[in-house]
Each structure stands twice: as structure tokens, then as C-alpha cells.
Chains A and B, each alone.
Chain A
């Protein structure tokens, strides 16, 4: 192996290390970023809420009302989603409160996130009313 090969290999390793380190750093940075977590919670809240309704309706339509008793796996999955929605609503709401406290988003984004948190709260309230989410 020539010096040139060794040098090239070291450069590649260093590059790979830098990339990994950069990725790890980025993940760490995001996981400790209140604004990123709050934003992710609201995206998750929107996605999981819509996913829950779609999955629940599809299972009910394909399997009939009986699936509420038999609880096949897709129905079991659907019925666990309200708990996740409750947790994401909590995360979104806390994130919004922190955002208004520390002003880490623009005013428009803060209003948007506030609306989402409000929708999450009323959606969770209805899930409670319908028995999907025990108090």
C-alpha cells in the first residue's frame, strides 16, 4: 500500500467520521431543541390524528362493526393511537406555551402552532367523550 493510498484512506475515514459526528450532533441538537420538538409534536399530532380516523374507518368498513368486539390487529393498532394523540397534544401545547414565553418562532408560526394545539385539545376532548381516551 502506497503512502498515497494510506493518505486517501485516512481522508475517507475522516470524512466518514465527520459525517457521522455531524449527524449525531444534528440529532442531539434537535432532540434538545424545544422549538424542533414542539414543531415535531404538532406534525405528529396532525399526522397521527388523521391516520387514526382513516385507519379506524377503514377497519370498520372492511371488517364491520364486529371488529369493535373482535379487535383484530389493525383495530388494536387504531385503538392505541388515541393515547399517542393525547401525548402529542400535550407536547404541542407545552411547546406552544414555551414558544410564546421565549419567542423562538415568528408570530405567524406561533399563531399557527397555537391553533394546532387548540385543535389537538378539542380533538382529544372528543376522543374522551367517545370513550377512545379514558380520563
Chain B
């Protein structure tokens, strides 16, 4: 198990290096350069600034410096907000996105497992049809529409009641987080529900469930001990990619609900062409996702002994 974890970690570090390299060269292809802005600049100023940021070096040197700084966990200084470190920006905004993402993943996972199990239990009856209809809606309606509609209904609801039950936008308390997290987790929840349903149906027709039934095990016990536990496994495998989808999917939700997260900050940085912030955020996100997937895989190995045997 330990060698497996180490192997995955080594792969992960290599992947992060690849992400960093791709980001670096993609950013170097951007037309213009970081010092091009609306302020007029004399040639001396420009040369001084280029020297300061190391932009006068050949690209290979710049790349090596970038990698060396990266290995120390230093993403450099923002070009737009003077003297502000990219690390600082990430430290300030990432917890917000992470909090939102964690809540969304919790919503998606619990909702997906619960609804998926329900649909399998009530297969081809009304609850199944209703939930599957909602699932198809959840997959087909774009997240920004869901976000806008939920915001609109919040406004109407608050107006109707006469006081603010849940805030419409902003960040701060747990009340601010509930609706955005739900919206963010919705499409993943729909996907997980579908997955859980088919895996549950597969488990229901398996031998060990039949054996348990013939032994006279009560139906609720079969459901919790045999069906649910086995059917959850495929859901755990896709949690890694699901976390990735939710973290980047946060852009829209952060934009619509005015949440000061890293996703919104990234979009702003791109609009202002803030090179170091863009590179830092991308590498940070990439590394985060890579290690998230590794953690999920390792956890999966712990839960399911069959996986451990294979590796």
C-alpha cells in the first residue's frame, strides 16, 4: 500500500511539473507583454522594469527561474496590484472557494447517494420517475440559469416573507453559503444519482443479496449492510473528477452570487492580463486537483480490498 501511495505521489509531482510547463509556455504565447498597459513608459523605465521582473532574460532562463521559485512554493508578485504576492492572493481567496466546494461536494454526494438509492428502491414507480425527471433537468439546464433562477426565487421569497431568510449574494456566514453550494453541487448530484441508481440496481440482482434474502435477513438490514455499502463504491471513484468539476465550476456561481473566491479572481486576472496571478492560480488549481484525485484513489483502495489486490 505504501509503495502504491509513493508511486502515485511521484506521478502527481510529475503531472504538476507538466501543468506548470504548459502554463508557462501558454502564457508566453500571449500577444503583448505584462508591461503593456495604458500608462506611457519611457524606454529606461521599461528596461528597468524588465530587469526587475526578469523579463530581459532568455526564455529558458525565465523558465528555470519559474521552476525554481515554484519548487519553493513562490508564485511571484502580482503585476497589476503592486507588491502583492500571488501566494497572498491565493491564501486569501482560496479558502472561500474551498469552503464552497466542500459544501457542494457534501451536498452532491449525500444527495446523489440518497436519491440514487431511492430511485432504485422505488424502481419504475412514481418517486423513481419524479427523481429521474429532475436528474435529467439537472443535467440539461446550464448552471448559470440555475444560479440566476435560484437567486430570483430567493429575492421573491424574501420579499414575500418580509425579511431576509437567506441572503441573495455575498459571503460571510453559513447562510450565505447554502444556496450557492447547492447550485454548484446540483449537476454533480444529478450525475451521481444516475450512477448510484444503476450501481444499486446491479447490486440488487447480485448473488449475495439473494443469499441474504433467503437466509431471512430483514429487508432494511439487506439494504443498509449489503446493497448500500456495495453500491456506493463506483460513486467514490468518480468523486475525484467530481471535485475537479465542482472547483472549476465555481466560476459561474462565484460570479452570480458575488462570492470573493479564487475562481472569480482568476477571471478578473485574465481580464487584466495579470501574468503571475494567472500562472500561479492555474498551477495551484492543477496541483490541488491532481492531489485530490490521488487522495480519492488511495481512499478507494482502503475501502475496497479488491482494488488493493490489483495494484
Q: Does A pair with B?
A: no
Identify the B interface with A (CB < 8 A): none
